[in-house]
Amino acid sequence: MRVGVVGVGQISAQYFAALARLPELQLVAVADLDAERTRQVAAEHQVAARTVSELLGSADVDVVLNLTIPAAHVAVGTAALEAGRHLYAEKPLGLSVADATGMVQLARERGLRIGSAPDTVLGTGLQTARQLLDAGTVGEPHAAAVAWSSPGHEAWHPAPYFYYAPGGGPLLDMGPYYLTALVTLLGPVERVSGTSRRSTRPRSVASGPQAGAPVPVQTDTSMQAVLEHRGGVTSTVSLSFDVWASRRPLFEVYGTAGTLAVPDPNTFDGTVELWTPTTGEWQPVPPSAGYVGAGRGVGLADLAEAMATGRPHRASGDLALHVLEIMDAVSRSSVEHLVVDLTTTVERPEPVPLRG
């Protein structure tokens, strides 16, 4: 599948490194609003440098990999679909459920595939955990707890402003990793309640040419949520840009016969640990499922393979839309002080057998 990339900012380097190792995909062109940056990246990877409109209309592009900022995901994604291209987008799928729903419906009407990050859930970490849960290793799961925190992305990102603009914050930035993992492991969510707050701590850029510049905060910087999954499992979620130090991330699934410690879903691998009354201690579990050595872009490779074999792809637009509605419901709940029933649902993606 021939890939055209729109947006060659910070995250694109991880995709380019992965694309070179994925035989299902061929990078053919790049585009960005920064023409000089486009030329530099195109020369580095020996592909065509094009404007965004040129790339979307290119006959040699089968799928658009949309790596623009979140606020542009729907506009660029919709334009790609209208141009007859398949689409794979960085997370989140959009900033509003309504806009993202329209994009998913457009893909369906045009007979096009739409996929979305995060694809970290396809690696050996989350897939090994999925295999253990499906095998009944911890009995019947009844609860899960996840938590991620940091002091804020201004500590490492040279231009962190969009993380604190509308559409940013820990919920939309880190939430997709944890929520996609929860849905993959435990199934879709039916109702949500949540709270959030906005820290008053002044923030400034810590590195790069803008070091010392203030970072305006226009979005909440901490949130907590309770998710009720179809089937009865309850998950608690905590995400924050306000914590200086913590022993997190935490991701645990509690069952009637044991506890599963799941690796950080912001990574593709990591060690799964299992505790049961029989052992009385945490025991590491060797990888038993998932794409070995996966990196960003494996979800797009899975989409290409799915098209070739006629199966559903795993990092789907429907899954990303459901996760987006979960995040929207958390935000609504925190403002309106109510429990929000979700309107979308999705089946758990098919598990990934252990694959090199």
Pairing verdict, β 222-229 and 26-31:
unpaired
Please name which of 77, 87, 93 lies closest in space to residue 111, comparing C-alpha atoms.
87
For residues 47-64, give the mean pLDDT: 97
Tokens of 15: 């995709």
| C-alpha 352, offset from chain centre | 17
For residues 334-348, give the mean pLDDT: 96
> Given a cut of 90, is residue 323 above it in pLDDT?
yes
Task: Specify the pLDDT at position 167.
Answer: 79
Residue that wins the pLDDT comparison between 167 and 25: 25
Stated length of the chain? 356
**Alpha-carbon gap, residue 167 to 91, rounded angstroms:** 11
pLDDT digits (tens, 9 = 90+) for 270-320: 999 999 999 999 999 999 999 999 999 999 999 999 999 999 999 999 999
> Given a cut of 90, is residue 164 above it in pLDDT?
yes
> Given a cut of 90, is residue 10 above it in pLDDT?
no
pLDDT digits (tens, 9 = 90+) for 99-157: 999 999 999 999 999 999 999 999 999 999 999 999 999 999 999 999 999 999 999 99
**Alpha-carbon gap, residue 168 to 332, rounded angstroms:** 15
Q: Across the chain, what does the average pLDDT equal?
A: 96
Q: What b/e readout covers 297-335, taking b as 16+ CB neighbours within 10 angstroms?
A: bbbbbbbbebbeeeeebbbbbbbbbbbbbbbbbbbbbbe
Task: Specify the pLDDT at position 85.
Answer: 98
Phi, psi of 79 (to 5 degrees): -65, -40
**Alpha-carbon gap, residue 175 to 94, rounded angstroms:** 13
Task: Specify the pLDDT at position 175.
Answer: 96
> Given a cut of 90, is residue 205 above it in pLDDT?
yes
For residues 334-349, give the mean pLDDT: 96
CA-based radius of gyration for the chain: 20
The pTM assigned to this predicted structure is 0.95
Task: Specify the pLDDT at position 111.
Answer: 97
Contact predicate 29/52, CB 8 Å: no
**Alpha-carbon gap, residue 163 to 172, rounded angstroms:** 9
> Given a cut of 90, is residue 356 above it in pLDDT?
no
Strand partners, 160: none
Query: Please, what are the domains in the chain?
Result: 2-116 (3.40.50.720), 120-291+315-341 (3.30.360.10)
**Alpha-carbon gap, residue 279 to 268, rounded angstroms:** 27
Per-residue three-class SS string for the chain: CEEEEECCCCCHHHHHHHHCCCCCCEEEEEECCCHHHHHHHHHHHCCEEECHHHHHCCCCCCEEEECCCHHHHHHHHHHHHHCCCEEEECCCCCCCHHHHHHHHHHHHHHCCCEEECCCHHHEHHHHHHHHHHHCCCCCCEEEEEEEEECCCHHHCCCCCHHHHCCCCHHHHHHHHHHHHHHHHHHCCEEEEEEEEECCCCCCECCCCCCCCCECCCCCCCEEEEEEEECCCCEEEEEEECCCCCCCCCEEEEEECCEEEECCCCCCCCCCEEEECCCCCCEEEECCCECECCCCCCHHHHHHHHHHHHCCCCCCEHHHHHHHHHHHHHHHHHHHHCCCEECCCCCCCCCCCECEC
Residues sharing a CB contact under 8 Å with residue 13, sequence separation 6 or more, in sequence order: none
**Alpha-carbon gap, residue 238 to 240, rounded angstroms:** 7
Task: Specify the pLDDT at position 166.
Answer: 84
